[in-house]
Each structure stands twice: as structure tokens, then as C-alpha cells.
Homo-oligomer: A and B are copies of this chain.
Amino acid sequence: MSDQPLAPVPPFEPPYYTVVFTSVRTVPDDEEGGDDGYDATSTRMDEIVASVPGFLGMESARTPGGLGITVGYFRDEDAIKEWRGDAEHRAAQKRGRGEWYEKYSVHVAKVERSYGFERG
């Protein structure tokens, strides 16, 4: 999870898909001393997912020492399938289970409605 632009992903015309990935790190970010490869991999994953046809956007937040939530938005199932099947992504997931994550949950859902607010 690298630096994200400071903007929520805007509402799109439904239906589209969202993938909610919520995690607890093995080592809290704010205690990270050495380079365990997590940040570099996060940056690389951001690049790859952005190149997937049908990718709509992604947003991330992590409470220091707490939960991390990354939400990806995709036009359709095919886009998710491509992202899920990417070889570098699969290698990163494996390393995530081996090293970086204490636990995580993934919820894949079809967006039925959405709306936004921006201060005028």
C-alpha cells in the first residue's frame, strides 16, 4: 500500500465491482525498521492493477499500528479475474501470507448504487 492520491474513488455508473482487502500486518508499519520488501511490492502492485483493462480506481488507508484497508474498483468480473491471475500479483500474495500479513479478509462485491459529496 503506497501513497495514494488524496481522493476517494468517485461513484461510477453501476453495476461495477469492488474488492475490499482488510489486513493486519505482522510488523506494524510504524515499527518497521528494515526493508522487508513490502513497500516496494505495494508500489509495484499499484502499477500492475492500474494497467488492468476495466480497472476503475483504488484507495487505501492504514491506521498506524492498526488495520489496513485497500479497496479496488473494477468494471466487471473479467477485470478482477485478470488482476487475480497476474503472475506478479500471485507471487506477492504468496509472500504476503508467508511474511507480511498476520491476517486478512477479502470481500468481492457488485456495486448496486453509489454517491459522492464534495464541499462546494
Contact = CB atoms under 8 A, between A and B. Distances in A.
Contact of A67 (B17, B61, B67, B108): B61
Interface stretch (A33-41, A42-50, A112-120): A112-120
A18 to B, nearest CB: 5
Size band of the A side of the interface? Answer: 35 or more
Interface string A66-85: 11110101000000000000
A26 B119 contact: yes
A10 to B, nearest CB: 6
A13 to B, nearest CB: 12
B114 A106 contact: yes
B9 A66 contact: no
